[in-house]
Amino acid sequence: MDDSKPKNPSLKSTNNPSSQVWDFASAPFLHPMKVTVNVNEPGTAPGLIFVAPYTLYGTPMIGQTGTLIMDQEGNPVWFRPLDNYTQNRNFRLQSYFGHPVLTLWQGTISGSQSAHPPLPMGDPLPGAHFQIINQNYQVIKTITAQMGYTAGVHEFVITKRNTALFAAVKPVPADLSPYGGPVDGYIDNYAIQEIDLVTGKLVFFWDTLSHVDPADSMVSISSATFSNGIWDCFHMNSVEDGPDNTVLISMRDMGAIYKIDKATGKIIWQLGGKQTDFTFGPAATFSWQHDARFRPGERISLFDNSCCASSDSPPEGPARGLILQLDYQNMTAKVDRTYYHDPLLTVSHRGNLQDLPGGNQFVGWGARPFLSEFKNAGNTKEHPSVNFIYDMQFPGSNFSYRAFKNEWVGLPLYPPSIAVNPVGHDSANVHASWNGSTETVAWQVLAGPTPNTLSVVVCKTPHTGFETAIHVDSVGPYFQVHALNSKCEIIGRSWISCGY
């Protein structure tokens, strides 16, 4: 029997459309959040969307936390849930020895388990690490920080040299009396570490406290009273591998971006903050920023939070993706492009701006439950709907530290999943899914009276969403599904399921 469409076109998967969480008959342990696509205009870049949803302590998490790949319609493609308070951050696509891989931070975050955290809110707890995952969804490398530091939640970059460049943090004893604090206090000292991914050797180290004056922090010393005397005065939140043996870093609590000479460790220049080397043109200033990146043509991109020194502080303006044009001769910075959400958003923390192939820009709105895509020309605060071509919203208070969009080929080695629900005495509903497979375009259903006598009863049903529901005029009672690629080749076989 050759069916190019589901036998019963009205048959739906087991997802409850009124729910904010996906439920799948063939994958009963996966419950990712459902999202809403608010805007989807022509001109978006191809690719899948990468997020790591979670929420804050005391706020209900809708669905499971973990790593989630979605298509542009919001359908899950791959989901790896986490238990308890473990979280993922910075889930993204990178290249490792010429092969596409997924990378992420995994650990427990201070403040995720208690209203009285042992470290400054958002700090990683000991045991945090980075993972590199191949196209088969296997963890092929785990990386931890060295020299007593803990792997930071904010950054992990695989360089073209196949080294790992990342941010790490360690509270160090410090006399805080010069800044108005106790003599026996601590400073959260952030460091850049670069590790050879083959040998594990530390090949570069740079720590903030040796190069930046805590007195220039935008965060009051009084904040240390809420985190066991530890002053988070720097808060490094991005690291970018740069040209000519340099590194670009962002430090939110200094309100500044720094270019570092790796050979000497010296700061080449500082953009923003109390000791800025640049003067700013109209509307070019930023604050509490994230995700500083080099751009071609002497430009810098960042996510400008414009908010907030504390939970009681008013926002300085709406958040935006920001690209600045730098003039190194005159040491000036002026606005090149801006990317505002429609409607405008206040974003207290987190966020990123990604340059997509073809020039579109992708924005993860950090602490707000949105991600968006823009045409390259961007928009303005006065006209935020211009060039605003895609917008996705998470349910409730879920959010993702960053969000990315990339083309990805997932080739799971585990088999597809199947679930069978009998319908009366002469048919069944078969549910098929293959978590992470991007090459499955159709399903084939086999049935028979014994596991050894299966024959094809549905030759080809188009793959739809994460789980495909197929009505079968067979009582089996044994069933199996085959995953087919675009060439109608069988690329995966489920276990044989007894439906009765």
Q: Residue 5 falls within a domain, yes or no?
A: no
Note whether 85 and 147 are same-domain residues: yes
Q: Is the dihedral of CA 449, 454, 458, 462 positive or negative?
A: positive
- Is 146 buried (19+), middle (13-18) or exposed (0-12) by CB count in 10 A? middle
Note whether 350 and 488 are same-domain residues: no
Range(s) of the domain holding residue 494: 417-498
- Single-letter amino acid code for the residue at 150: T
Q: Which residues pair with 141 in a beta bridge?
A: 132
Q: Residue 189 falls within a domain, yes or no?
A: no
Task: Report the pLDDT value the prediction gives residue 315, as an integer from 0 to 100.
Answer: 75
Band (58; pLDDT cuts 50, 70, 90)? confident
Which residue, 375, 406, 437, sits at the end of a domain?
Answer: 406
What is the average pLDDT value for the chain, to the nearest integer?
93
> Is 305 within 8 Å of 347 (Cβ atoms)?
yes
User: CA neighbours within 13 Å on the CB side: how many for 464?
Assistant: 16
Q: Residue 67 falls within a domain, yes or no?
A: yes
Q: What is the CA radius of gyration of the chain?
A: 25
Q: What angle do CA 244, 248, 249 make, to 5 degrees?
A: 155
Task: Report the pLDDT value the prediction gives residue 63, as an integer from 0 to 100.
Answer: 95
Which residue, 359, 376, 406, sits at the end of a domain?
Answer: 406
Note whether 288 and 398 are same-domain residues: yes
Note whether 262 and 395 are same-domain residues: yes
Note whether 384 and 452 are same-domain residues: no
| CA 209/CA 190 separation, integer angstroms | 8
Model pLDDT for residues 8-31, shown as the tens digit of each residue:
333 333 344 448 999 999 999 999
Note whether 263 and 397 are same-domain residues: yes
| CA 126/CA 145 separation, integer angstroms | 10
Q: Residue 200 falls within a domain, yes or no?
A: no
Note whether 259 and 286 are same-domain residues: yes
Task: Report the pLDDT value the prediction gives residue 113, as an integer from 0 to 100.
Answer: 66
Band (1; pLDDT cuts 50, 70, 90)? very low
| CA 416/CA 483 separation, integer angstroms | 7
Model pLDDT for residues 324-355, shown as the tens digit of each residue:
999 999 999 999 999 999 999 999 999 999 99
Task: Report the pLDDT value the prediction gives residue 6, as an integer from 0 to 100.
Answer: 34
Q: Residue 75 falls within a domain, yes or no?
A: yes
Note whether 262 and 387 are same-domain residues: yes
Model pLDDT for residues 242-259, shown as the tens digit of each residue:
999 999 999 999 999 999
Q: Which of 43, 41, 63 is nearest to 54 (CA)?
A: 63
Do you find a cis peptide bond into 343, omega within 30 degrees of 0? yes
Q: Residue 221 falls within a domain, yes or no?
A: no
E-strand ranges in 266-369 read 267-272, 279-280, 290-295, 299-304, 320-327, 332-339, 352-355, 361-364
Q: How far is CA 369 from the centre of its chain?
A: 12
Note whether 395 and 460 are same-domain residues: no
Note whether 344 and 491 are same-domain residues: no
Percent residues over pLDDT 90 in the chain: 86
E-strand ranges in 138-252 read 139-143, 150-158, 163-174, 185-196, 202-207, 230-231, 236-242, 246-251
- What string of DSSP letters covers 20-61? SB---SS-TT--PBP-EEEEE-TTPPS-EEEE-EE--TTS--
**CB neighbour list of residue 304: distance below 8 Å, 6 or more residues apart:** 286, 287, 289, 319, 320, 321, 322
Band (119; pLDDT cuts 50, 70, 90)? confident
Residue 337: Cβ within 10 Å count = 21
Three-state secondary structure call for residue 348: coil
| Residue 482 φ then ψ, to 5° | -115, 135
Our count of domains for the chain comes to: 2
Residue with tokens 């690291």: 239
Three-state secondary structure call for residue 429: strand
Note whether 363 and 458 are same-domain residues: no
Q: Cα separations (Å) of 420 from 180, 185, 410, 479, 497?
A: 67, 61, 25, 8, 7
The backbone region for 436, taken as left when phi is positive above 0, alpha when psi lies in -120 to 50, beta otherwise, is left
**Which CATH number fits the domain that encloses residue 425?**
2.60.40.10
| CA 328/CA 278 separation, integer angstroms | 9
Q: Which residues pair with 458 in a beta bridge?
A: 445
Task: Report the pLDDT value the prediction gives residue 313, as an integer from 0 to 100.
Answer: 67
Average pLDDT over residues 271-296: 97
**CB neighbour list of residue 130: distance below 8 Å, 6 or more residues apart:** 103, 104, 105, 106, 142, 143, 144, 151, 156, 164, 166
Note whether 346 and 481 are same-domain residues: no
- Single-letter amino acid code for the residue at 154: H
Q: Residue 14 falls within a domain, yes or no?
A: no
Three-state secondary structure call for residue 383: coil
Q: Residue 184 falls within a domain, yes or no?
A: no
> Is 381 within 8 Å of 391 (Cβ atoms)?
no
Question: 231 is written with which tokens?
Answer: 């002053």
Task: Report the pLDDT value the prediction gives residue 472, as an integer from 0 to 100.
Answer: 96
Which residue, 353, 387, 406, sits at the end of a domain?
Answer: 406
The backbone region for 458, taken as left when phi is positive above 0, alpha when psi lies in -120 to 50, beta otherwise, is beta
Per-residue three-class SS string for 291-314: EEEEECCCEEEEEECCCCCCCCCC
